[in-house]
A and B are shown apart, each in its own frame.
Chain A
Amino acid sequence: MQQNGKYGVLLLGGHRTHQENYALNFAQDERCQLVAFADELDGPSERITLGRSLADALNLPFIADLDEALAREDVDIVSLCTDVERRGRIGAKCAEAGKHVYLDKPMALNSEDANKIVAAVEKNGVKSQMFSNIYSVWARTVQQALTSGRIGELQAIHCDVLFSKGHPGTAPVGEKRIQKPTLERYSFVEAKPEMFDVGVYAVSMVNWLTQKRVQRVFGGTANYFFEEHRNCGLEDFGALVLTLEGGITATLVGGRYGWQSHAQGGVRKVHLIGTEGSLTFDASANRLEVFAAEPAFEPPEPHPLDPMGMWSSTQAGIGMPPKQQWIDVGSGDDGQREFGAFVDCVENGVESEMNAEFAAHSVEIICAGYRSAASGEVISL
């Protein structure tokens, strides 16, 4: 802990990672103090360069040797936003060093890597949390409705999370995607596997709301919108049908579908179907709708290093215009709620509702979804 009594936060990952946002969220928590950036000595040179540049931008030191950074007693928490391929190894190393670990989503490339983190976290008694939507006002509203018993016994849950970013219409129409059963590479400049990257929000939301394990997975992936994804061999869209404990049906949609496909950042919706009734929750429902004599939203010119609009820095660099027609009411501090919840867990010695063990099930489900999409078969977990 810092001499001033604050939790020291070590930051892994740099520009063009979610650390651009996470670092600021930790900095805004008065219980935390940013200590430094770091990376592995033999980390990818481009990643190290991007780490150094974000460290410079935030006026923080960059420690070239992760082991040296983890040995520091003034580091209590590691915010882990390295490329997904390295998260299993590095996450486990941070936990082994006795540091609490905040994990970008998804926490790992596959179940094997996720389980490395889970085992190290458990062995060393540190706290962990994967980024998700479960601490948002919207998610808490759904949870309250579900636990209130208003709909009786849950029979089915349907969750859609889509990102309205990217310039669609460049992928060939009517071309069935050939899915590989395992994902070998996640990180590309121009694309990510969107059933994983966006779908993890929907999967983790269903897991958290139901508190039920998934037993069977059936799914499909597609290249509906972007030639960038197709050229990288990655899907831009995925859909899953799950069978939960107790025979509950869950369906999920995750993907990226273009800048103009939604008035805000994309659809986020949950349907709860119960024996006594059903409820629908739209994260954008509590909103102002503004119509004004001002220019309509125009998609930005694609940034060469971020054509899908993934990162804050690149979008700021091209003067990304804000979408202003729908204005959220009451969800403005969801980010602080997410990071504050993790620091609460560290402070109070309690487990996060989205700790590594819980989040690892999301990785397991999505990987099973890829195997199902590849084989056309139902996958049992």
Chain B
Amino acid sequence: MERREMELLKKSVQSVLEKERIGSPVFLRCVLHIANAGENLLSPVAEVAALANEWIPSQPTHVYAQGDAETTQVTIMVHYVGGQMALLSVNRADVETAIDIMLVGNKGVIYHETPIGRHYSNAIPPELDGSGELAGAIAQSLESGQPIPLEG
């Protein structure tokens, strides 16, 4: 069900993008809090990177990562060929999985936060689909502390 929730979110975002309501996506800010994360945060970070690569209409050129995949958080910055950027952060959470997204287009913005509060008690937190991208480069950047160029 959680994966279905994520699919619904992606479908909703896609419907806005297809109508070009926000123009062309230029920047994604995503903060993902994951409950019961596994031993390593690399996989969920790579999955959020895949989300960014899906929404941003360009190829990634560099990725820069900070944090520790085996402790609390990993944050990455992705640069794209056309100048677009993404700032993506994945954190371990004790209570519940939640996502905060700001997808900026050149003519508008999509904001989304996992609903909380009594009116949304039936909300299902998102879960990514397990298909990550850039995992090797992210791990390399975490190790070296340097931005890693990506092959086109």
Binding between chains A and B: yes
- A residues at B contact (CB < 8 Å): 155-156, 158, 160, 168-169, 171, 173-177, 216, 218, 220, 222-225, 237, 239, 241, 243, 249, 251, 253, 257-258, 260-262, 267, 271, 273-278, 280, 376-378
- A170's nearest neighbour on chain B, judged by CB, is B106
Pick the contact of A158: B83, B89, B109 (CB < 8 A).
Answer: B89
In the bound complex, residues from chain B placing their C-beta under 8 Å from that of A257 are 104, 109
In the bound complex, residues from chain B placing their C-beta under 8 Å from that of A155 are 67, 71-73, 91
Q: Are A156 and B83 in contact (CB under 8 A)?
A: no
Selected A-B contacts with CB under 8 Å, 29 pairs: A156-B67, A156-B75, A158-B31, A168-B23, A176-B83, A177-B83, A216-B145, A222-B27, A222-B85, A223-B83, A224-B83, A237-B26, A241-B87, A243-B66, A249-B75, A251-B75, A251-B77, A253-B29, A257-B109, A260-B108, A261-B108, A271-B31, A273-B91, A277-B93, A280-B100, A376-B62, A376-B147, A378-B145, A378-B146
Q: Are A377 and B147 in contact (CB under 8 A)?
A: yes
Q: Are A174 and B67 in contact (CB under 8 A)?
A: no
Q: Are B31 and A378 in contact (CB under 8 A)?
A: no
Q: Are B104 and A273 in contact (CB under 8 A)?
A: no
Q: Are B108 and A278 in contact (CB under 8 A)?
A: no
Interface string of B23-35 (1 = CB under 8 A from A): 1101101010100
Q: Are A241 and B64 in contact (CB under 8 A)?
A: yes
How many angstroms from the CA of A184 to the CA of B128 in the assembled complex? 45
Interface string of B101-123 (1 = CB under 8 A from A): 01010111101010000000000
Q: Are B89 and A271 in contact (CB under 8 A)?
A: yes
Q: Are A273 and B64 in contact (CB under 8 A)?
A: no
In the bound complex, residues from chain A placing their C-beta under 8 Å from that of B100 are 271, 280
Q: 5 other contacts beyond A158-B75, A273-B91, with CB at 8 A cut-off?
A: A155-B72, A173-B23, A176-B81, A251-B87, A273-B72
Q: Are B91 and A261 in contact (CB under 8 A)?
A: no
Q: Are B33 and A224 in contact (CB under 8 A)?
A: no
Q: Are B145 and A278 in contact (CB under 8 A)?
A: no
In the bound complex, residues from chain A placing their C-beta under 8 Å from that of B79 are 220
In the bound complex, residues from chain A placing their C-beta under 8 Å from that of B66 are 241, 243, 249
Q: Are B89 and A175 in contact (CB under 8 A)?
A: no
- B66's nearest neighbour on chain A, judged by CB, is A249
How many angstroms from the CA of A174 to the CA of B62 in the assembled complex? 16
Chain A CB within 10 A, most for which of B23, B81, B85, B95: B85
Pick the contact of B87: A158, A225, A243, A258 (CB < 8 A).
Answer: A158
How many angstroms from the CA of A155 to the CA of B82 in the assembled complex? 31
How many angstroms from the CA of A158 to the CA of B86 in the assembled complex? 13
- B88's nearest neighbour on chain A, judged by CB, is A251
Q: Are A160 and B29 in contact (CB under 8 A)?
A: yes
Q: For residue B106, give the distance in angstroms from its CB to the closest CB of chain A.
A: 5
- B79's nearest neighbour on chain A, judged by CB, is A220
- Is B53 interfacial (CB-CB < 8 Å)? no
Query: Known contacts A155-B73, A177-B83; is A262 also within 8 Å of B109 by CB?
Result: yes
- Is B58 interfacial (CB-CB < 8 Å)? yes
How many angstroms from the CA of A310 to the CA of B26 in the assembled complex? 23
Pick the contact of A275: B72, B81, B147 (CB < 8 A).
Answer: B72
Q: For residue B101, give the distance in angstroms from its CB to the closest CB of chain A.
A: 12
In the bound complex, residues from chain A placing their C-beta under 8 Å from that of B89 are 156, 158, 251, 271, 273
Q: Are A169 and B106 in contact (CB under 8 A)?
A: yes
Q: Are A224 and B93 in contact (CB under 8 A)?
A: no
- Is B151 interfacial (CB-CB < 8 Å)? no
Q: For residue B87, give the distance in angstroms from its CB to the closest CB of chain A.
A: 5
Interface string of B48-84 (1 = CB under 8 A from A): 0000000001100010101100011101010101111
- B58's nearest neighbour on chain A, judged by CB, is A174
Q: Are B106 and A173 in contact (CB under 8 A)?
A: yes
Q: Are B67 and A222 in contact (CB under 8 A)?
A: no
